[in-house]
Structure 1
Amino acid sequence: MKFIDGLSKNDFTVQIIVKQLLRSATSIGANIIEAQAGSTKRDFTNFFSYALKSANESKFWLGLLRDSAKADKDKTEVLLRETIELANILGSSILTLRGKRKM
């Protein structure tokens, strides 16, 4: 939230990207919480899949901000790395839940 609050309020393009990033980034956490409340393994896996899709979308928006030079590159890189790490964790968890992970 601090990162988003620090971006330009006057740049129309930035505001469009910010809205998309805020939506996709908050969706990650919301879907993880929803997964924990899931009544079945399938529900749990599906909500983790939704969270992964949101993480992948967030990676796109962060990359766009970084590449457009409309945000601090170092701060954006940190958030992008964290989002990639989270997406990797979610992806591995989904493979494990589906029994497709090679050990």
Structure 2
Amino acid sequence: MEDNSKTAFAEMFRQRTKKFVVDNIKFFRTLPPTEEAKIIGRQLLRSSSSVGANYRAACRARSQAEFHAKLSIVVEEADEALFWMEVLIDAGVVTESSLSILADEASQILKIASASRKTVSKNNDAQ
């Protein structure tokens, strides 16, 4: 991949992870006013906001090792966000359909970040 296409992809993914955060904030505002919804919702907000913040930090990494570390956090937090979404659904706090778009986006972000992390690991092993 050329540097220009890498830069374009990184910017697109940075915007995508930021939108993921904003979409989760908007979803949080729709949760029922129960204690469990707010507690689990806050956990979802923390993990989803960490996805955007850590990808942004990864884009500013000073080394491949730092990039890999930040990308690992993105993977971990995207997976955690999916977990909290599943909990909200399984506990009957929200319907599956109300979270389907967000859950799909979390899954896609997780897959992309995991694949990127794997590529970085392979490139580091080859050096």
Q: TM-score, normalised by structure 2?
A: 0.74
Aligned residue in 2 for 1:4 = 28
Aligned residue in 1 for 2:55 = 32
In the TM superposition, residue 75 of structure 1 has moved relative to its aligned partner by: 2.1
Q: Is the helix fraction higher in 1 or 2?
A: 2
Q: Distance in 1 between matches of 2:119 and 2:96?
A: 34
Q: In the alignment, is the contact (CA less than 8 A) between 1:25 and 1:55 conserved in 2?
A: yes
- Deviation track 1:6-53 (CA, whole Å, cap 9, x = no partner) reads 0012x1111110110000000000000001111001101110000110
Q: Which runs of 4+ in 1 moved over 4 A?
A: none
Q: Distance in 2 between matches of 1:65 and 1:78?
A: 14
Identical aligned residues as a percent: 28
Correspondences of 1:71-82 after superposition (within 5 Å): 71-82=94-105
Q: In the alignment, is the contact (CA less than 8 A) between 1:55 and 1:86 conserved in 2?
A: yes
Q: In the alignment, is the contact (CA less than 8 A) between 1:66 and 1:73 conserved in 2?
A: yes
Note if 1:41 corresponds to 2:64. Answer: yes
Correspondences of 1:9-24 after superposition (within 5 Å): 9=33, 11-24=34-47
Structure 1 residue runs without a partner (length 5+): none
Q: Distance in 1 between matches of 2:65 and 2:84?
A: 29
Q: TM-score, normalised by structure 1?
A: 0.91
Give the letter for the 2:111 counterpart.
Answer: N
In the TM superposition, residue 73 of structure 1 has moved relative to its aligned partner by: 2.1
Correspondences of 1:56-67 after superposition (within 5 Å): 56-67=79-90
CA RMSD of aligned residues (A): 1.1
In the TM superposition, residue 68 of structure 1 has moved relative to its aligned partner by: 1.7
Note if 1:51 corresponds to 2:102. Answer: no
Structure 2 residue runs without a partner (length 5+): 1-24
- Which among 110, 113, 127 is matched to residue 90 of structure 1? 113
In the TM superposition, residue 59 of structure 1 has moved relative to its aligned partner by: 0.6
